[in-house]
A and B are shown apart, each in its own frame.
Chain A
Amino acid sequence: MKYDALIEKYEPVLGLEVHVELGTESKMFCGCATVFGAEPNTQTCPVCLGLPGSLPVVNEKAVEYTIAIGLALNCAIAPYSRFARKNYFYPDMPKNFQTSQYDEPICINGYLDLDVETEDGIKNFRVEIERVHMEEDTGKSLHMGGDTGRIHGADYSLLDYNRAGIPLVEIVTKIVEGTGKYAPLVAKAYVKELRDILRGLGVSDVKMEQGSLRCDANVSLRLIGEKKLGTRSETKNVNSLRSVERAIRGEMIRHSILLEKGEKVKQETRHFQEDTGETIAGRSKEEAEDYRYFPEPDLVPVAPSLEWIESIGQSLGERPSDRRKRLQSAWSVPDKEMAAMVNADLLDTVEASVLLGADPTKARSWWLGEISRIANEKAVAISQLAITPGDVAKIVALVGAGELTDKLARAVIEGVIAGEGDPETVIEKRGFKVVSDDGALIAAIEKAVAALPDVAEKVRSGHIPAAGALIGAVMKDTKGQADAAKVRSLLLQHLGQPE
């Protein structure tokens, strides 16, 4: 079934679970370091290995960060919350359980308002948050043997517990309904806004590609007008914003095809495949999971004082949505371009160029135009290109001073990205000589004089104010890159009226 047809008939209902690794120095319940990419099993201790006799103690910073997240998501902070053991048999946790929060999460009942850019303009949606709770990350498994690197067919697995015990926060939405055809976009906007909030709070490095922010997407369809929820699938560990949108859209289509054939959607875990954009079936969840949760006897409850919560609340800083509004008005950006900049994730980058002195409109147009184009062409993220906000600020300044034309500036950008060095080096290496060159300006002046002979005559006869029209024509011809004072002085000289 095609997407356009399915949304005429079915309503998608989503549920999103986002896991975020907190950026604390040490783990959730022990003092082991949390450095990404360390040698295997060099960041473990008796506590995170679950050795007998070890005693976990809660990392205060992790609690503080979680409260900050809850407040930023408009949640109520529970005066009293507890940890529980989630028991399961899987070697990614050496303890055979994960310490988590179950029926007493620390933050509940929040929401996040989203401006979603759609083909029909910007739409507003509110995603309600069910809970935000603390837990710990699991270890990393390598499945060996077989040929797929997956569990099926593997002969054995190798475990690295460096990640086991890193503070993890799970943010769970209530069901998200009423988004209709925009569901995939709403989900993507939600994860993006969440990521920006978390980044702004400084509680995580939110690197989806490194797994410090991961999204599980529950999707179900029901006939429009139907009250009862359809059977859902849960797509795990969707690891980029684009994948969130693709995975949900793909699941909606897959469900609709099954339903149209009169078949049932299976309640199961699915795995998103980056290359094909499809999901493949994982574990069936038809049998309800039974984790035999019980209160963690080794940890005492968390009961944050009102003073503590208040002081965390006061340190939250500017919300990303407020910041966007502030920058949009300070830089006078039209809505559509603002959305494009936010979508391309360029706000920080453009701001960095502006803080280094670049004109906001010019900086934006280089990042969103030429540089984005090159990134697209190379199929990489803009952040992976070897060009910095400082380079762009420099280029904007050179163009503004009339030392580069737009065309040359594009070539300089290409050179910088190609690794030829900073803008000055590229200009020197490539021998770019520029509009401030008197010759080029004089050529433009001659052109203007030829086009407006009457005006030129007036100036020649001493009527200096008439020069304005000629200066304007030269500026237009040089696309505003020439220095107007310099044009004026050259022009007057040219017409025999030196100042």
Chain B
Amino acid sequence: MSSAAGISRAEVANLARLARIEMSDIELDHLASELGIILNAVAKVSEVATADIEPTSHPLAMVNVFRKDEIRPSLTAQEALSGAPAQEESRFKVPQILGDE
């Protein structure tokens, strides 16, 4: 990600590509400046994050929250598929996948 100074047009284009969102040149220009403003606002946080503050990924100072290896009831296939736009043979049906793997 870019520095607190904002985000370049190329970075926005790359993010759009990663997110599979097609964007026109005009949209890229527009978003680069808008996202830059948002990033600058968020970057204020780094002003208080001094060297003596540990980076954290969680608001609570907790570790080792575990569950026992026990089976809990799953959804039925019908329930699992109830929100799917399309299904076939009890499976989620998705459009042709681009790329490979």
Contacts and interface: CB of A to CB of B under 8 A. Distances in A.
A91 B80 contact: no
B91 to A, nearest CB: 4
B71 A269 contact: no
B69 A42 contact: no
A283 B99 contact: yes
A169 to B, nearest CB: 15
Interface residues of A, number: 60
A89 interface: yes
A290 B64 contact: no
Contacts of A159: 91-94
B65 A300 contact: yes
Contacts of B81: 41
A484 B92 CA distance: 71
Interface stretch (B2-10, B42-50, B55-63): B55-63
B24 interface: no
B55 to A, nearest CB: 9
A97 interface: no
A60 interface: yes
A44 B97 contact: no
Contacts of A205: none
Contacts of B73: 31
A31 B72 contact: yes
A301 B57 contact: yes
A25 B62 contact: no
A91 B92 contact: yes
Nearest to B55: A295
A334 interface: no
A292 interface: yes
A477 interface: no
Contacts of A90: 97, 99, 101
A32 B73 CA distance: 7
A26 B18 contact: no
A300 B93 contact: no
B63 to A, nearest CB: 4
B72 A40 contact: no
Contacts of A282: 100-101
Contacts of A3: none
A57 B63 contact: no
B100 A57 contact: no
A207 interface: no
A135 B64 CA distance: 16
Contact of B18 (A82, A290, A303): A290
B53 interface: no
Contact of B69 (A26, A87, A157, A236): A26
A290 B14 contact: yes
A160 interface: yes
A190 interface: no
Contact of B92 (A25, A41, A301): A41
B77 A39 contact: yes
Given A42-B77, A300-B63, A61 B69 contact: yes
A60 B18 contact: no
Contact of B67 (A57, A87, A283): A57
Interface string B69-83: 111111111001101
B91 A31 contact: no
B46 to A, nearest CB: 16
A45 B97 contact: no
A24 B100 contact: no
B67 A59 contact: yes
B13 to A, nearest CB: 13
A166 to B, nearest CB: 12
B63 A301 contact: yes
B66 A40 contact: no
A258 interface: no
Contact of A154 (B60, B66, B74, B96): B96
18 contacts: A25-B70, A30-B72, A31-B71, A39-B90, A41-B90, A41-B92, A42-B80, A46-B75, A49-B80, A57-B67, A60-B69, A91-B92, A143-B97, A154-B97, A156-B93, A158-B88, A269-B101, A300-B63
Given A154-B97, A300-B65, A301-B57, 12 more contacts: A33-B74, A41-B77, A41-B92, A49-B75, A49-B80, A51-B83, A90-B99, A91-B97, A141-B97, A157-B96, A283-B99, A302-B64
Interface of A: 24-26, 30-33, 39-46, 49, 51, 57-63, 80, 82, 87, 89-91, 94, 141-144, 151-152, 154-161, 236, 269, 282-283, 290, 292, 295-297, 299-304
Minimum-distance CB pairs A-B, first 10: A31-B72, A295-B57, A61-B69, A60-B66, A158-B91, A303-B63, A159-B92, A283-B100, A40-B90, A41-B77
